[in-house]
Amino acid sequence: MKSILQSEKFLLLACAVAIAGFALDSRLGGYGRLSSLLESAVLIGAILAASLSVARHAERIARKLGDPYGSMILTLSAVLVEVIVLAIVASPAGSRTL
């Protein structure tokens, strides 16, 4: 169990930041631009950490499947991460920090 938690530290970090972001969003919004900038930087770091975790898992699956399926898995995972990030940015839900 400990080795699984250590190998998934980026994903756990992203989950912890997401939970803290939801819990503290209403409290941190009123502190000004510096607070918003710091919150955005932390959230972007968490997204990057989760993306690294997804890429690592996709690479493991790609090694097991071999060519051409492995290359297809890696390509689709990268495209999926980009689409998800764009969907989040383009969502109609207004954010006070952006």
CB 11 within 8 A of CB 44: no
pTM of the model: 0.63
Are 4 and 61 contacting, i.e. CB atoms less than 8 angstroms apart? no
Q: Is the pLDDT of residue 98 over 60?
A: no
Task: Work out the widest C-alpha separation in the chain, in whole angstroms.
Answer: 52
In the chain, where are the structural domains located? 2-89
Residue 94: per-residue pLDDT? 59
Residue 95 is predicted with a pLDDT of 57
Q: What confidence tens digit (pLDDT) does each residue in 47-68 have? A: 888 878 878 888 888 888 888 8
Mean pLDDT of all residues in 11-34: 78
Q: How far is CA 2 from CA 6, 7, 62, in A?
A: 6, 9, 25
